[in-house]
Amino acid sequence: MQKVDQKRRDFVSVAAKATAATVVAPGVFLQSVAQAAPRAEPVTDDVRYGLLIDTTKCADGCNDCVAACDQENGIDQLLKPEGASDALWEQQKPRWIRKVKVQDNLTGKQTDMPVMCQHCEHPPCVDVCPTGASFRREDGIVMVDRHTCIGCRYCMMACPYKARSFIHENVQSKTTVAPRGKGCVESCNLCVHRRDNGEKSTACQDACSEGAILFGDLKDPDSKISMALAEKSTVQLRADLKLNTGVRYSGI
Amino acid sequence: MLKLANLGILLVLMSLSFVVTSASGPKDVEPSVEGSAKADKLDVCVAPTPFMRRNHFELIKHQRDITVHQGIRLTDDSLAGCIDCHAGKDTHGHFVPVNAKGEFCAGCHEYTGVTFDCFTCHAAKPTKTGS
């Protein structure tokens, strides 16, 4: 009787699995490339991007959205400047999202929420910018053109949401998607590189395991965010300023 | 291909015959292996080489405004595209910054005495997208 070569059988079985995997992988890869086509036409005001934050789902002590934002936009690659104290660095470190806790003093109810650039329709930062570096893109994203920013920081003072950060020192490690250098102001840009590459979410939305952050087009009545806004009771932070923010909060 | 090879030889000769002062590029970087950049394997850039030598900065400057303000990224003239194609790799297969001494950008700019500011903010070698 012929002896079965077990080693050869194992090899064939492993090889077959490996072949199956490579057959699947190119298909997946091709699909993701097809979805993520870089933008070729100028952005228009047919869309207005925004966020809906459900504060009832935002967990106390969770920092996942901030960490994801830091990683996506290269903020975690910044190092404490030489000679700076920890306290100073903690104050000056760029932050595109801040985790904020608010308390109703009458009832004692506490609410956690992420606060980032609110992408106002009438942004005070754009009003005060002396060079036109601070601007609002047609699709509603408020951002800084760092080629024209002179680092005066008027916008940081004008912003009621404390959303902007300043880069105080030279940046050693840079990423392609989020250029950054000494002397410029920056803030949340709703992952603008993802918008221009046709992706559908933001890093913070992807990172939130509770689903507290929802990104979408406020002008599309069929988008998830528009449907949620039509259903839930939501507020704008500092609605009294009549800035018509693109970021809305529910549960506060 | 022939033209690129000629440019390479020219740059080597230049660096031998002139004392070159490095402006702001990274120091102590292992030089890239010749022929390791994507561009080395292509015949032409997005426009003929003589045009690119004289006008690349105009293309990039025009592109930066339409990218930042209009979100257009699908063009030949993006800085990220330049870096992706022209960054060479060292003997370990790691990308070498294009503004390091003798590399694609720094090679000519040092010789011509042009100070440029792109890489104060922009990555000088291809990086992962982050997402």
Distance from chain centroid for Cα A103: 25
Mutate to test the interface with A, among B67, B70, B128 (most CBs of A within 10 A): B70
- pLDDT beyond 50 at A31: no
- Over range B101-118, report the average pLDDT: 91
Mean pLDDT of A131-158: 96
Identify whether B128 is part of a domain: no
First-to-last alpha carbon distance for chain B, in angstroms, is: 35
Q: What is the ipTM of this complex?
A: 0.78
Average per-residue pLDDT for chain B? 82
Q: How far is CA B34 from CA A102, B9, B17, B46, B89, in A?
A: 59, 11, 20, 21, 8
Q: Which of A21, A27, A205, A143 is nearest to B71 (CA)?
A: A143
What gap in Å lies between CA B60 and CA A32, rounded to an integer? Answer: 28
Say how many domains are in chain B: 1
φ, ψ for residue A98, nearest 5 deg: -115, 135
Minimal CA–CA distance to B120: which of A66, A82, A151?
A: A151
A70-84 mean pLDDT: 93
Cβ separation of A194 and B122 shorter than 8 Å?
A: no
B27, part of any domain? no
Q: In this predicted model, what pLDDT tens digit does every residue of A153-170 receive, in sequence order? A: 999 999 999 999 999 999
User: Measured between beta carbons, which residues in chain B are less than 8 angstroms from residue A194?
Assistant: 131
pLDDT at position A24 is 46
Inter-chain CB proximity B123 and A194 less than 8 Å: no
Q: Which residues of chain A make contact with B95, given a CB cutoff of 8 A?
A: none
Higher pLDDT, B99 or A16: B99
Stretch A28-33: mean pLDDT, rounded? 42
Residue A8 three-state SS: helix
Q: Which has the higher per-residue pLDDT, B6 or A168?
A: A168
Mean of pLDDT values over A172-183: 92
Going from N- to C-terminal start, the domains of chain A cover 1-35, 49-250
pLDDT in tens, B40-85: 888 889 999 999 999 999 999 999 999 999 999 887 889 999 999 9
Among the four given CATH numbers 3.40.50.920, 3.30.70.20, 3.40.1190.20, 1.10.3720.10, the one describing domain A49-250? 3.30.70.20
Are residues B72 and A73, on separate chains, in Cβ contact within 8 Å?
no
User: Has this prediction a pTM greater than 0.90?
Assistant: no
In a domain, B131, yes or no: no
User: What's the domain range around B113?
Assistant: 2-20+32-120
Phi first, then psi: give them for residue B63, nearest 5 degrees: -65, -40
The token pair at B18 is 């002139």
Share of chain A above pLDDT 90, in %: 82
